[in-house]
Amino acid sequence: MLAPFDHLADVTPSDTVDLTKVARGIKIGVAGTLKVLCGGSEAVTLTNLAVGVFHNIAVRRVYSTGTTATGIQVGW
C-alpha cells in the first residue's frame, strides 16, 4: 500500500522532458500501453495496467512514443 501523496499532477507525455519530480506512483484513466523511464533510469513499456488506481512505480518520464494510455496522473 502506498503512503498518501503530498502532490498530484496530470502528465503530458514527452520523449525529451522529465517530470519535475520523480513520482512514487502513476495512474492511467484509459487503458493502453505506458512507456516510462523509471526512477532507476530503465526505460520500460507497461501493459495491462489496471485503470483508475495508483501503481507503486517510481517514474522519471512518461514517453509520448510508445504510450497509448491517456488520463495519466502521478503522485509524489
**DSSP assignment of 10-51, as one string?**
E----SS---SS-BSEEE-SB-S-EEEEETTS-EEEE-SPPT
pTM value is 0.94
List the chain residues with pLDDT less than 50: none
Q: What is the pLDDT of residue 62?
A: 98
Q: What is the pLDDT of residue 3?
A: 84
> Residue 37's closest CA among 9, 10, 65?
65
